[in-house]
Each structure stands twice: as structure tokens, then as C-alpha cells.
């Protein structure tokens, strides 16, 4: 089977069927490895996958009709940064825009909640990556309700039904993006509580990793069950036909990286971007330019050294 087909098959197995009710802990294994991928072949598969992404990205940029938005969500230490580094390693930096979303600024809080995400969308021809995304608006904001109170919402709009409404609003917004050529690829890196503990300890024990650790990470860890519930609700309500979620076991970083690149390859294969055809008039013009350049060959040089 071709690498392309293998990756598309892997990605298909990780997709959350639209309309299904998800219980993250019960339905998904954080240590999942697709049986078709052996550890000893995994570096090669990732390399091939990255090469395919680079080829697709070159076509996507030349065609300038579609954009791709990769939405990456995970609990702390889930591996978002390392995944971005590895998966995008072969792609032309001009064609990729990455944005990490942090606690919103006062300017951002003065706008509607999707405003800051809409400003960071990829253009046609680009691959955009949201390292955290608009989904924080139904994750961290749901787990810490006081964050919602800071959003200056009109009275009566932040009652009990606010989360259902946000799911609908987000689904509609993504529908609009997809209808207008911006393909949305959503990935949840699903980490176990034990792996998070191990990775936090690595960040404490290794001085070069200390900068990655913040005491607030421990405070957030105490909300583990609340986050798991918020993830399950998010997956149950926002995996749609036009923008389905992929849940990727994150305990094995090497497999998670292959799986994320597989989800991107699958989306790009569906877009199947093509280099633009040059129309006959322009092509004739190219021949005129060629003759002129050939006539300028210095003495002793071949008229066309490329041919
Ligand atoms: P990090 O990704 O580790 O640099 O941390 C970014 C922090 O920003 C995390 O603690 C997030 O929970 C927080 N954050 C991201 N988006 C939002 C949001 N919309 N509202 C509140 N906090 C957010
Ligand atoms: Mg962090």
C-alpha cells in the first residue's frame, strides 16, 4: 500500500463520528498505537509523511484557493509544541503560520469571543496552526467559570445554556470557513494522567526544561476530571461532518506525531491542490522571452544552459 493510503487509513480510524456521544476516558486509549505501524519503521514513516506534506503545501500555495487550519488541543504537557516542530519540519516556513493562544488581553476581552481567532486564520494557500484555539472557550473557560464572567457578556447570555450555544456557534463558524475554502482539521492530543505526571517531573528534574514548567500547572492538574468532562462534551457536540475531531493517543509521542501528520495528509489529499495551468497566450509569451534570453548568450556560452 502507498504511504499516502496508509496515512489516510490511520487518520480515518482516529476520527470521532459526527453525532456520537463521547466519553473520553472510556472510548479512547491514551496509549493507542495503530497496529499497522511498527516502532522500528516509525521514523521512516514520519519522514515520508513530512515529505508528502511539503509537496502538498507547495501545490496549495501555488493554487491559492484553499487554506488549511490545524486546530491542536491538549491538556498541559500533551505534546503540542513538539508535534508542531516535528510535523511541520519539512514544510516551507513561508507557507505556514502558527499562533499560540494565551490568556486573552483586555482588548480581546472587549470583543466577541471568536474575534481573536478570526484574526489569525490562514489565508488561501497557507497552512495555519492554532496551538490552543477557539475551543479554549468551551474548555478552560468552562472549567473556570470566573473566566466567563470576565468576558463582559450581556446579562442573560451566560446562563446554563451558554455552552450548548457556543458549540452551535463554533460549528456554524467552522461551516462558514469550510464553505469558503478554509479546511478545518481538529486534533485532540489525549494524554493520561500518569504520563502528565511523568512529563511534569521531567520538566522539574531537567534544568533545560525548567522554563516549561509553571507552578500553575499543578493547580490545573487538580481539575483533571473537569477537563476530561469538558473534552468529552466538546467532542460529543462539535465533531461535525464538515470538521470532525481526531482523538490521538498522546502517551507515545512518536505515534502522536505520525497521527497528526496523517490527519493533515488526509485533508490535503481531499483538497488535492494542483499547480495552476498556464494559459496558451501566456505560454506563447514564455517562448518569446526564451528566444530573447537565448539571443543574449555571451560568446562561448550555450544559449540555454538549463536544457
Ligand atoms: P501555555 O499554552 O502553556 O503557554 O499556556 C497558555 C495559557 O493560556 C493556558 O493556561 C490556557 O489555559 C490559557 N488560555 C488560553 N486560551 C484561553 C482563554 N480563551 N481564556 C482563558 N485562558 C486561556
Ligand atoms: Mg503550559
Residue 237 pLDDT grade (very low, low, confident, very high; cuts 50, 70, 90): very high
Measured in Å, residue 69 CA sits from the centre of ligand 2 at: 22
101, 114, 234, best to mutate for ligand 1 pocket (most atoms within 8 Å of CB) = 101
102, 115, 144, 145, best to mutate for ligand 1 pocket (most atoms within 8 Å of CB) = 102
Mean pLDDT of 86-90: 92
Residue 103: its pLDDT value, please? 97
Residue 160: its pLDDT value, please? 85
Give 19-34 pLDDT, tens digit per residue: 999 999 999 999 999 9
Mean pLDDT of 239-266: 98
Residue 217 pLDDT grade (very low, low, confident, very high; cuts 50, 70, 90): very high
Measured in Å, residue 296 CA sits from the centre of ligand 2 at: 60
Mean pLDDT of 179-199: 98
Give 198-212 pLDDT, tens digit per residue: 999 999 999 999 999
Candidates 272, 273, 274, 263; CA nearest to 8 is: 263
User: Hey, what's the cell of 56?
Assistant: 502538498
Residue 219: its pLDDT value, please? 97
- Whether 75 is in the pocket of ligand 1, judged by its Cβ within 6 Å, is no
Give 133-181 pLDDT, tens digit per residue: 999 999 999 999 999 999 999 988 988 899 999 999 999 999 999 999 9
- Whether 140 is in the pocket of ligand 1, judged by its Cβ within 6 Å, is yes
Residue 307 pLDDT grade (very low, low, confident, very high; cuts 50, 70, 90): confident
Ligand nearest to the CA of 200: 2
Q: Which CATH architecture has domain 3-276?
A: 3-Layer(aba) Sandwich (3.40)
Q: Could you write out the DSSP letters of every residue in the chain? A: --HHHHHHHHHHHHBPPTT----HHHH--TT---TT--HHHHHHHHHHHHHHHHHHHHHHHHH-S-EEEEEEEESTTSSHHHHHHHHTTTS-GGGEEEEE--SPPHHHHTS-TTHHHHTTPPPTT-EEEEES-GGGGGTHHHHSHHHHHTT-PPTTSSSTTHHHHHHHHHHHHHHHHHHTTEEEEEEEEE--HHHHHHHHHHHHHSGGGGGG--HHHHHHHTTHHHHHHHHHHHHHHH--SSS-EEEEE-SSHHHHHHHHHHHHHHHHHHH---PPPPPHHHHHHHHHHHHHHHHTPPTTS-S-TT-
- Model pTM greater than 0.85? yes
Q: Percentage of the chain surpassing pLDDT 70?
A: 100
Q: Percentage of the chain surpassing pLDDT 90?
A: 96
Mean pLDDT of 126-136: 98
* Residues 6 or more apart in contact with residue 5 via CB below 8 angstroms: none
Residue 277 pLDDT grade (very low, low, confident, very high; cuts 50, 70, 90): very high
Answer for the pair 165, 127: CB distance below 8 angstroms, yes or no: no
Ligand 1 atom 8: the closest Cα is on which residue?
102
Residue 1: its pLDDT value, please? 85
Mean pLDDT estimate for the chain: 96
Ligand 1 atom 7: the closest Cα is on which residue?
102
The neighbouring-strand residues paired with 130 are: 71, 99
> Does position 5 have pLDDT exceeding 90, yes or no?
yes
Domain boundaries, the chain: 3-276, 279-307
Mean pLDDT of 1-21: 95
Mean pLDDT of 6-22: 96
Amino acid at each position: 500500500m502507498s504511504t499516502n493510503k496508509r496515512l489516510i487509513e490511520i487518520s480515518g480510524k482516529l476520527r470521532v463520528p459526527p453525532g456520537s456521544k463521547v466519553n473520553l476516558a472510556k472510548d479512547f486509549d491514551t496509549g493507542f498505537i495503530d497496529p499497522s505501524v511498527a516502532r522500528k519503521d516509525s521514523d521512516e514513516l514520519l519522514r515520508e509523511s513530512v515529505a508528502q506534506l511539503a509537496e502538498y503545501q507547495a501545490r496549495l500555495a501555488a493554487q491559492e484557493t484553499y487554506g488549511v487550519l490545524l486546530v491542536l488541543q491538549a491538556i498541559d504537557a500533551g505534546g503540542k509544541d513538539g508535534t508542531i516542530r516535528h510535523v511541520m519540519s519539512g514544510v516551507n516556513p513561508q507557507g505556514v503560520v502558527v499562533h499560540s493562544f494565551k490568556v486573552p488581553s483586555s482588548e480581546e476581552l472587549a470583543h466577541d469571543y471568536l474575534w481573536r481567532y478570526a484574526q489569525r486564520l490562514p489565508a488561501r494557500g497557507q497552512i495555519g496552526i492554532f496551538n490552543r484555539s477557539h475551543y479554549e472557550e468551551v474548555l478552560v473557560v468552562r472549567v473556570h467559570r470566573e473566566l466567563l464572567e470576565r468576558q463582559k457578556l450581556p446579562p442573560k447570555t451566560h446562563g446554563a445554556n451558554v455552552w450548548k450555544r457556543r458549540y452551535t456557534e463554533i460549528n456554524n463558524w467552522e461551516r462558514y470557513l469550510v464553505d469558503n475554502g478554509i479546511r478545518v482539521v481538529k486534533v485532540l492530543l489525549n494524554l493520561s494522567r500518569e504520563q502528565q505526571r511523568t512529563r511534569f517531573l521531567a520538566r522539574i528534574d531537567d534544568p533545560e526544561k525548567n522554563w516549561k514548567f509553571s507552578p500553575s500547572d499543578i493547580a490545573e492538574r487538580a481539575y483533571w476530571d473537569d477537563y476530561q468532562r469538558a473534552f468529552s462534551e466538546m467532542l460529543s457536540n462539535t465533531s461535525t461532518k464538515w470538521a470532525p475531531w481526531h482523538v490521538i493517543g498522546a502517551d507515545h509521542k512518536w505515534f502522536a506525531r505520525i497521527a497528526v501528520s496523517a490527519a493533515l495528509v488526509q485533508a490535503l489529499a481531499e483538497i488535492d491542490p494542483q499547480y495552476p495551468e498556464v494559459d496558451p497566450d501566456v505560454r506563447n509569451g514564455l517562448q518569446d522571452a526564451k528566444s530573447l534570453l537565448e539571443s543574449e548568450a555571451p560568446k562561448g556560452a550555450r544559449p540555454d544552459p538549463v536544457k
